[in-house]
């Protein structure tokens, strides 16, 4: 089998990276490509630096279930400097019989002879180069011929996709359009987590008092108290996890706004919302109010902040790659002061000590109770469960690098 190793900071992963990987796979017959994010010094500028956890999550969203790719946390989990030769040796041990290709962009070829133990790298792998700018083929061939004595180098004939992570980060920070360079789920992830100084829509005026009046008039006393409690819990969670407390209060307050509408109206709103809704959600009455609620606050209250809309829309079913605000509303609803199920105190503690752990517990709890009632598990709930399971697994690997690395 031919496998590819593709390392980089992936900060964030963009269309140029994906183009490089696919071009290499098609032209040189690679069947599996390991995407290996490198460690970035946390001392780098905080606006530009995002955690390994976020970069892993974006990689996973970008390649989703494509069987060509395997996202590897090898370098992030390793406690020594990320020299490529160590990564190559690691994958060589895992694939003693396979043909290995190390994938790089053309800028890397030009500086390749300055890499630590580059000749040893070339004795283990074929270096596979994809151009990053128009008209550089002659220069690349010349450099490959110079280096070629040490091993095999192949150059893809595909035309370049000119983009860099630096350019994407700059556009995000300057509030310019960046969506065209990235996978749409990665765009959503960056927006919802506010990465790279993304500030998003700040035009919304939060006026909880007016919304409280509306809720009081349209909800039962019990549901109204629950909404206030969830809002208060969301504010506390936001303070703990660095999210905007007013925004969290507002989203928590409105999460159940459509819960007591007649079923037919909830369904009508959910169907006309235009949001992507899976079949299981449409077949489960108790889930309609969340989709309906997001659509309602958008159309009736003019809420445009996508993060608030998603926090309301996903507060029942959850999903993979939830934003911090989405996580806060999801948990706030589960642990608010009026909740009294058996394990609520444990969930409360966990929510304030281990956010990913609490999310995983919450998904497991939700899936178990659906199964117990003979209900249907929405696809995004299953995906959410898998997402947090992987996050927790990676956290363990990073804190204990000796555990099975990919």
Binding residues for ligand ATP, per CB under 6 A? 8-11, 16-17, 19-20, 104-105, 107-108, 130, 132, 160-161, 163-166
Of 171 and 406, CB closest to ligand ATP: 171
Q: For the CB of residue 159, give the shortest distance to ligand ATP in the complex, in Å.
A: 10
> Rounded to an integer, what distance in angstroms lies between the CA atom of residue 316 and that of residue 187?
23
State the nearest-atom distance from the C-beta of 172 to ligand ATP, in Å. Answer: 12
Residue 111 Cβ vs ligand ATP, minimum distance, rounded to whole Å: 10
> Of 8 and 321, which CB lies nearer to ligand ATP in the complex structure?
8
φ, ψ dihedrals at 153, nearest 5°: -135, 130
C-alpha span between 101 and 91 (Å, rounded):
11
Tokens of 30: 């690679």
Of the pair 8, 52, the CB lying nearest ligand ATP is at 8
Q: Can you read off the two tokens belonging to residue 170?
A: 């700059």
Cβ at position 161, least distance to ligand ATP in Å: 5
CA 4 to CA 31: how far, in whole Å? 8
- Shortest distance (Å) from residue 168 CB to ligand ATP: 8
Q: Smallest distance from the beta carbon of 26 to ligand ATP, in angstroms? A: 14
Residues 184 and 17 sit within 8 Å (Cβ to Cβ): no
CB of 30 to ligand ATP, least distance (A): 15
166 or 353, CB closer to ligand ATP? Answer: 166
C-beta closer to ligand ATP: residue 163 or 290? 163
For residues 161 and 382, which CB has a smaller minimum distance to ligand ATP in the complex?
161
Nearer to ligand ATP, 10 or 363 (CB): 10
- For 96-212, list the strands marked E by DSSP: 99-105, 126-130, 153-155
Identify whether the C-beta of residue 31 lies closer than 8 Å to the C-beta of residue 1: yes
Residue among 117 and 339 whose Cβ is closer to ligand ATP? 117
Query: Which of 52, 9, 12, 7 lies closest to 33, judged by CA?
Result: 7
Packing angle of the helix pair 344-353, 355-372 (nearest 10 deg): 150
* Alpha-carbon distances, residue 161 vs 77, 144, 220, 243 (angstroms): 30, 21, 56, 35
Minimum distance of ligand ATP from residue 112's CB (angstroms) = 10
The sign of the dihedral angle between the CA atoms of 11, 15, 19, 22 is positive
Cβ proximity to ligand ATP: between 101 and 388 the closer is 101
218 — phi, psi (to 5°)?
-115, -5
Least separation, in Å, of the C-beta of 132 and ligand ATP? Answer: 4
Nearer to ligand ATP, 56 or 108 (CB): 108
Is there a contact between 284 and 378 (Cβ–Cβ < 8 Å)? Answer: yes
Token pair recorded at residue 324: 């911090």
For CA atoms 335, 336, 341, 346, the dihedral sign is positive
Q: Shortest approach of ligand ATP to residue 18 CB, angstroms?
A: 9
For the chain, first and last CA: distance in Å? Answer: 18
Please tell me the distance from the alpha carbon of residue 377 to that of residue 372, in angstroms, as a whole number: 11
Report yes or no: 153 and 144 within 8 Å, Cβ to Cβ.
yes
């Amino acid at each position: 089998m031919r496998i590819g190793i593709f390392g980089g900071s992936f900060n964030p992963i963009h269309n140029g990276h994906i183009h490089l990987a696919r071009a290499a796979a098609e032209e040189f017959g690679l069947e599996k490509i390991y995407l290996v994010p490198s460690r970035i010094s946390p001392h780098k500028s905080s606006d530009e630096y995002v955690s390994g956890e976020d970069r892993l999550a974006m990689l996973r969203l970008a390649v989703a279930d494509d069987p060509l790719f395997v996202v590897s946390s090898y370098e992030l989990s390793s406690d020594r400097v990320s020299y490529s030769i160590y990564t190559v040796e690691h994958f060589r041990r895992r694939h003693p019989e396979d043909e290995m290709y190390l994938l790089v962009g053309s800028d890397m070829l030009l500086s390749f002879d300055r890499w630590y133990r580059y000749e040893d790298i070339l004795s283990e792998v074929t270096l596979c180069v994809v151009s990053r700018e128009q008209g550089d083929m002659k220069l690349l061939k010349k450099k490959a011929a110079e280096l070629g004595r040490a091993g095999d180098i192949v150059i893809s004939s595909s035309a370049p996709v000119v983009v860099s992570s630096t350019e994407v980060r700059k556009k995000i920070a300057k509030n310019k359009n960046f969506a065209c360079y990235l996978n749409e789920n990665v765009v959503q992830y960056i927006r919802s987590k506010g990465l790279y100084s993304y500030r998003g829509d700040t035009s919304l005026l939060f006026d909880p008092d007016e919304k409280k009046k509306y809720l009081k008039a349209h909800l039962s006393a019990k549901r109204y108290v629950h909404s206030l409690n969830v809002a208060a819990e969301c504010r506390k969670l936001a303070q703990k996890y660095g999210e905007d407390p007013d925004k969290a209060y507002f989203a928590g307050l409105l999460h159940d706004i459509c819960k007591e509408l007649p079923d037919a109206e909830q369904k009508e709103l959910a169907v006309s919302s235009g949001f992507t809704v899976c079949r299981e959600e449409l077949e489960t009455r108790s889930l309609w109010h969340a989709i309906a609620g997001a659509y309602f606050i958008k159309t009736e209250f003019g809420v445009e902040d996508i993060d608030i809309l998603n926090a309301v829309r996903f507060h029942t079913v959850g999903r993979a790659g939830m934003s911090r605000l989405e996580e806060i509303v999801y948990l706030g609803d589960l642990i608010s002061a009026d909740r009294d199920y058996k394990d609520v105190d444990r969930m409360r503690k966990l929510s304030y000590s281990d956010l990913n752990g609490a999310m995983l517990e919450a998904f497991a709890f939700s899936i178990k109770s659906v199964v117990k009632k003979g209900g249907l598990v929405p696809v995004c709930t299953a995906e959410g469960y898998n997402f947090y399971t992987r996050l927790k697994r990676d956290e363990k690997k990073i804190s204990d690098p000796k555990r099975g690395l990919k």
